[in-house]
Structure 1
Amino acid sequence: MLQLGMETDIQLNETRLQPSHRMDLRNFSEKDYNKFVKLNTVNDWSQLRWKDIGRPYEVTSFAKEKKDWEEEHQQSLPANVSWQMFNKSFHEWFVKDVPAEMDMSKRNFMKSLSNFKLAETKSALGELIRIHLWNYAHRIEDGIWDPRGKRALFEGLDLIKPRILFLGAAEGYEAMQLSAMYPGGEIVFVDYDPFCKDTRFRDFPDTYPFLGSNPSTGGNKVYHKKDFETEYIVEDIRNLPFGHEFDIVLSVGLLEHFPDTLKSEVVDWHKRFLKTGGYIIMTTPRAQLKSKLYYEIMADVMNHTYRELMTVEQMGLYLYENGLDILKHGFIKVHNGIVARPR
C-alpha cells in the first residue's frame, strides 16, 4: 500500500474516484497507449501547408461575466482582468464535491419545475447539465489532467534532474508530473495572476499521487506536491529575468489564447529561456466536436478571453514556422501535445 496522508490508501496500478477528481496510478500497455494516444501523424513538417489543414476553430461564445463587464465599461475586457475572472471561475469547479453538487443541482431543478418558473427552471437546468458534464470530463474521463496520456507524451526524454520552467502555470499539474518522471530537479512556476499561486497551486490536493520513476531502483515511485522543489513567481512572462537556463520550458493551454499576429512572440518566450539541447513542451485543446460542445456548454466557466481549438497539425505548423523542430507530436484525450527544440 502507498500511504497518501490521512485520506486514503491506494495501490500502484489502481484508479479511484475522489469527490473532486480521479486518482490514476495505472501504467499503460501498448494496447492502452494506442487506444488513447495518437502520435506522429506528420512525417515531414516542411511539406505541410495551411491550405491542406485549414485554420483553427475560434470559440465565439463568451462568459456572461465578460459580456456584462464590457457593457458596463464600454470597452473590451483587458487581458489581465479576463485571466483573473477565468482563474477564479475555473478553480471553483476544481474544488467542488462533485457528487454532492450533482445531487443539489438535481434537487434545485426539480424544485424549480414544481414552482412553474421558466427562468428559474432554465437556470437550474443549465447548472445540472454543467455539473454532469464536468463530472464526466474531469472525474470520469480525467480529460483535463489526463495523467496516462501526458505521461505517454512526456516519456523517453533525455533528462537528469531537469530544471523546469512552466509558463502560465495555474495550479502547476503538468510540471509536477514531469518532475515525478524525471525526479530530483526543480520547478519554477510563472503566472501573472497572483490567484494562481495563492489559491490554485496552494489548494492543489496534497494527497494527489503522481506516478514517476525511482532513480534508486529503476522502478515506479509515487510523488506528491510536497516532494517537488518549487518556486512560484507572479510576473508577466515578458519581464522574467532568466536566460537560457532551463532543461524544459513548458506551457499548457497558452498558445491558443493569442491571435496569429502574436503567436510568434509566444513561441519566442519558450525559446528565450531554454538551454541548448533542452525541450519545449506545449499543449493546446483539441479541435473536435466534443470539445466544441464543451466550450459552448461551459462558456460561463471557461470563455473569458480569446480562444482557439486546433488540430495537432495546425498547432505543429505554427511551431514549425516559428523556428522549432518537432521531435514528438500527437493528441491525447482532449489535448494536442508537442515536444520540440529550436532549429
Structure 2
Amino acid sequence: MIEVETSLNNESVQEETYLTASHRVDKRQFSEKEYNKFVKLKGVRDWSTLTWKDVGKPYEVTSFAKEKKDWERVNGKSLPVHTSWEMFNRSFHEWFVKDVPAETKESRNRIVRNALKLNIKESAEALGDHLRLHLWNYVHRIQDGVWDPRGKRALFSGLDVVKPKILFLGAAEGYEAMQLSALYPGSEIVMVDYDSFCRDIRYREFPETYPFLGPNPSTGGLKTYYKGDFKTTYIVSDIRDLSFGREFDIVLSVGLLEHFPDDYKSEVIEWHRKFLKPNGYMVLTTPRAQLKSKVYYEVMADVMNHTYRELMTVEQMGLYLYENGVDILQHGYIKVHNGIIAKVR
C-alpha cells in the first residue's frame, strides 16, 4: 500500500482526511502558516552576487551499496554507470512496493530469535534491517517525502503555458510529469529513461487509482486526474541519443543533476536547454542537503547509493544553473527536495 497526501475535486470541499487502499485523501484547508510547513519558496534576490565561497560545495555521499562494492570486487573495475542505474531502479522499486507492516513484524521476530540464540552477527543484521524499514516507512509513508504532492504542486505552479509539451529526462515512474500535466491540463508528456525497467515495471505498475489534483478548464474549479488521463509516450534511450529539436515547453528532471561531478554538470544543464522552445521552462529538483537527508542516505546506502550522489542546498543548485546561462524564476525547497524553475538567459 502506498500512502500519500492529496486533495480531490469537490466544489464544496469538506474538512476531512481519510485513508484509501492506495493513498490518503486530504480535503482540509490550510492556513498560510500551516501551508508553509510543506513548502518554503525563498528568494536569492540577485544570483549574480552569489559565489561558491558564499554557498560552499555540495555534500558528496560516500557510503555505497554492498551490491555495487561486491560487483567491483569481483570484476576488478568500477561499476558501469548504466549497470549502476539498473541496480538502483530494481532496489528502489523493491522497497517501494514492500508490505512494511508485515516486514517490520518479521524483522522484529528475527531480532528476538537471534538474540535468544546469542547469534550476534545475525541479530545485528536483523536490527539493521529493522532500522531501515522504520526509516523508509517514516520518509515515504508518513512524511511522503518521495512524491510530496503538496510541495511539488507549489514548486511547479505559476508557469505561463497552455497545453504544454513536457519532456521528462530520467523519468523513472514518471510521477512529476503527471503532476505537471494535471496542473496544466491538455499536456503532452514524453518520458525518457535509459533503463527499460523504468518503463516496463516502475511506470507500468504506477497505480491507476493515484489521484493528481489540478484545475478543471470546463468549470474553473478543481478536478482529479489519473494516470490514464495523461497523453504519454515513454522512450527508452540515453538522453545523449535523443533526436528532438527545440520543441518542448517544459524540460523536467528530478534527481538528475546531483549524480554528476562538477566536470559534467554543464553538460547535464545543456541537456535541458537543447530541447526547449524559445521562452520554455526548465524545471529541476535535487535532494536537499540537510541532516536528516544525510542520515537517510547513510543508513539506506544499500538501497539508494549505487552511483555518484550529492546533496545540495537550493543555493548551490541555483548557482550551477546561473553560471551555465540560466535565469532562475522561482526556487525553494520542500520536505526533502530543492526545486527550481528557470529559463535560458
- Sort the TM-score into its range (normalised by shorter chain): over 0.9
Whole-angstrom distance in 2 between the partners of 1:209 and 1:276: 32
What SS does structure 2 have at the residue aligned with 1:333? coil
C-alpha displacement at 1:101, in angstroms? 2.0
* Contact 1:324-1:340 at 8 Å conserved across structures: yes
Residue pairs, 1:30-179, within 5 angstroms? 30-179=32-181
Cα distance in 2, alignment partners of residues 342 and 176 from structure 1: 24
Distance change in 2, residues 1:215/1:20 (3 Å): closer
Q: Using the alignment, how far apart are the partners of 2:183 and 2:88 within structure 1? A: 30
Instruction: Tell me the distance in 2 between the aligned counterparts of 1:27 and 1:154.
Output: 20
Q: Contact conserved, 2:8 with 2:26, CA < 8 A, in 1?
A: no
CA distance in 1, matches of 2:342, 2:18: 33
How far apart are 1:196 and its partner, in Å? 0.3
| Cα displacement string for residues 197-223 of structure 1 (whole angstroms, at most 9, x for unaligned residues) | 011101111111111111101111111
SS of the equivalent of 1:35 reads coil
C-alpha displacement of 1:29 = 3.8
Deviation at 1:17, TM superposition (A): 4.7
Q: Against the structure 1 CA distance between its residues 168 and 231, is the aligned structure 2 distance closer, same or farther, given a 3 Å change threshold?
A: same
The one-letter code sitting in structure 1 at the alignment partner of 2:50 is L
Gaps in structure 2 of 5+ consecutive residues:
1-6
Alignment correspondent of 1:263: 265
Aligned partner of 1:249 in structure 2 is 251
Matched residue SS, 2:283: strand
Corresponding residue SS for 2:186: coil
> Which piece of structure 1 moves more, 115-124 or 229-238?
115-124
CA distance in 2, matches of 1:35, 1:17: 21
Partner residue in 1 for 2:280: 278
Residue 247 (structure 1) shift:
0.8
Cα deviation per residue 1:252-276 (whole Å; 9 max; x = unaligned)?
Answer: 0000000000000000000010111
Answering whether residue 307 of structure 2 is matched by residue 319 of structure 1, we say no
Normalised by the length of structure 2, the TM-score is 0.93
Large movers: runs of 4+ above 4 Å: 10-28
Could you tell me whether the CA contact under 8 Å between 2:104 and 2:133 is conserved in 1?
A: yes
What's the counterpart of residue 208 of structure 1? 210
8 Å contact from structure 1 (residues 63, 304) kept in 2 = yes
> Secondary structure of the equivalent of 2:141?
helix
Check conservation: 2:192, 2:236, Cα contact below 8 A: yes
**How far apart are residue 39 of structure 1 and its match?**
1.4
CA distance in 2 between counterparts of 1:218 and 1:295 reads 42
Give the conservation status (yes or no) of the 8 Å contact 2:22–2:209: no
Q: For the Cα contact (< 8 Å) 1:284–1:309, is it kept in 2?
A: yes
For 1:241 and 1:169, the matched residues in 2 are separated by 17
Distance in structure 2 (CA, Å) of the matches to 1:208 and 1:82 = 29
Q: Which one of 309, 312, 317 corresponds to residue 310 of structure 1? A: 312
Report the CA distance shift for 1:110/1:282 in structure 2 as closer, same or farther (over 3 A): same
Counterpart of 2:331 in structure 1 is 329
2:252, 2:282 within 8 Å by CA — same for their partners in 1?
yes
* Alpha-carbon distance, 1:157 to partner: 1.1
Shift in Å at residue 11 of structure 1?
Answer: 5.4
CA contact (8 A) 1:57 1:287 kept: yes
Query: What amino acid is the match of 1:129?
Result: L
Note the C-alpha offset of 1:22.
4.8
CA gap 1:26/1:213 in 2 versus in 1, 3 angstroms: farther
How far the C-alpha of 1:165 sits from its partner, in A, is 0.4
Q: Secondary structure at the match of 2:92?
A: helix
Identify the match of residue 194 of structure 2 among 187, 192, 195. 192
What amino acid sits opposite 2:156 in the alignment?
A: F
Alpha-carbon separation, structure 2, partners of 1:58 and 1:98: 29
Q: Is the 8 A contact 1:63 1:299 kept in 2?
A: yes
Deviation per residue, 1:32-77 (Å, 9 max, x gap): 3322211133100000000111100000000000000000001000
CA distance 1:243–1:332, change in 2 (3 Å):
same
Q: 1: distance between equivalents of 2:307 and 2:20?
A: 31
TM-score computed with the length of structure 1 as normaliser: 0.94
Distance across 1 between alignment mates of 2:119 and 2:19: 36
Asked if 1 retains the 8 angstrom alpha-carbon contact of 2:332 and 2:339, the reply is: yes
- In the superposition, relative to structure 1, how do residues 136 and 15 fare at CA in structure 2: closer, same or farther (>3 Å)? farther
Q: Report % sequence identity.
A: 71
How many angstroms apart in 2 are the aligned matches of 1:188 and 1:58? Answer: 31
- Asked whether the 8 Å contact 2:8–2:213 carries over to 1, the reply is no
Between the aligned partners of 1:11 and 1:327, the Cα distance in structure 2 is 29
2:184 alignment counterpart: 182
Which letter does structure 1 place at the counterpart of 2:128?
G
**Matched length:** 334
Q: Which runs of 5+ in 1 are unaligned?
A: 1-9
